[in-house]
Amino acid sequence: MLKSSRVLFQCLSKHIEVTVRTALVTRKVSAFSPNRKCQYHKSADKMDILFCDYDFVGFDLDCTLCEYHVSDMARMEYDVMADFLIGRGYPSDKLKLGLDGFGLDFIQRGLILDFQRGNVLKLDRNGGIMKATHGTKVLDPEVTVEVYGRRTTNCPFLARIKENMLSAWEPDCRSRYRLLLDYFDFPAGLAFARCVDHFDERGETDFTKCGEDTLAVLRYMYNRDHFADGRSEYFKRMRAEPSKYIRRSDPRLIVWLRNLHRKKRTFLITGSNCDLADFVATHSLGPDWRDLFDVVVCFANKPFFFTERRPYLSVTNDLKEGQPTENLSLPGIFSQGNWADLAHLFCVNLNKPEARGLYFGDNLVQDVFTPLKFGCCDTVAVVEEKNEDHPSREAVHSEFWGAMHARGSWWGNVIEIYAKASIPSMNALPR
């Protein structure tokens, strides 16, 4: 157990002061500009992040500001995946084994699916293979080295990932590999592995179809049009029982956000379509959730929101996309867009030639790595796996794979290098 101590996010008398236990926020080694006012007190094991260093502060929505009942949601997601795959010819006795016991322990954020080989991979801090399975069966380390090379030299994709994680979105990579980065796709690791087990029993040696069908089920579940048209069983179940899957935010977090909004420009960037974002935020943050932010950006297409220059689209009163617009103003809700124009909007509004941003998010590639790597803003990683008392501990902690963010793991290293700090929950901030 980590010793209980306190972390101070402070900004003189005119700024916001919140405290967090040191067990929840830890120092990260990173190449930030030397003029930042971030003090690390080793003797007290304390970090001060001064909000007065930042002109605007932003947040991701899902699994950052809006948390889920992860165990219930993962079971529902897997059930929808299994039904879809059974409809594509996979045996129900293999897919309907459920998500309890071994199945629940097998799923984890951060795993990589190798479609052609039928393998599931966890990377070490150097991009090598920390642990691997073929289907649900553990691969012997010697076999792993034989397949991928001692330093994954036999796998060009992993070599590219080590150079730039955005390579995972390139077409030739997306057709052969999948990074499982959040609580929406992480049950797909088990669904894919069980499909591979079925192919093994049939004597197949190419497992690409298992990967293609796994991608197909994710497209079916999360296509943004399917929330409104009712074609996704995932969205049907979410809409039927929102309180079963979406957690109500701590009232103290709402107060904290409201106080922050009074003193800073605040914004929300989400990959969800406007109607879905409104549904989730309303059930989590309350019906007046938009009043907490100066700018809301939906369907942001992260990570490329931070690297490309897609135009902003207006949003109609019924939360549909309108026409491209250059008329960005505060307050406002928009769709798509890009970071450069958002940062410029804040600079103009603040009458500053330059302005500094801070962004909180859970996706370690889209929300943490990319904004810092491409010089957009500092980031804070929201890592629910850090919470030893998580209400869905059985879903977010895996004995089979070990901690997602473990020291020596790829994602532990990403957090260490690219996040200014990490917290297990936004609800930790106002306590």
DSSP state of 364: I
Q: Which two tokens stand for residue 325?
A: 């617009």
3 state DSSP class of 287: coil
Tell me how long the chain is.
Answer: 431
Q: Report the distance separating Cα 302 and Cα 365, nearest Å.
A: 9
Q: Which two tokens stand for residue 210?
A: 């298992």
Q: Report the distance separating Cα 147 and Cα 157, nearest Å.
A: 13
In 226-285 the beta strands, taken as DSSP E runs, fall at: 265-269
31 phi and psi, to 5 degrees? -100, 60
60 phi and psi, to 5 degrees? -75, 165
Number of H helices, E strands in the chain: 17, 18
| Closest-CA residue to 333 (of 405, 409, 269) | 269
Q: Report the distance separating Cα 179 and Cα 168, nearest Å.
A: 7
Q: Is 386 exposed, middle or buried, given 0-12, 13-18 or 19+ CB atoms closer than 10 A? A: buried
3 state DSSP class of 46: strand
Residue position matching structure tokens 């004597």: 203
2: Cβ contacts below 8 Å, ≥ 6 apart = 22, 23
Q: Is 53 exposed, middle or buried, given 0-12, 13-18 or 19+ CB atoms closer than 10 A? A: middle
Interaxial angle between packed helices 70-87 and 208-222, expressed in degrees from 0 to 180 and rounded to the nearest 10: 120
Q: Which two tokens stand for residue 206?
A: 């190419």
Q: Report the distance separating Cα 201 and Cα 192, nearest Å.
A: 15
27-46 burial, b at 16+ Cβ within 10 Å, e below that, comes to bbebeeeeeeebeeeeeebb
Q: Which residues are catalytic?
A: 60, 62
| Closest-CA residue to 259 (of 2, 12, 10, 17) | 17
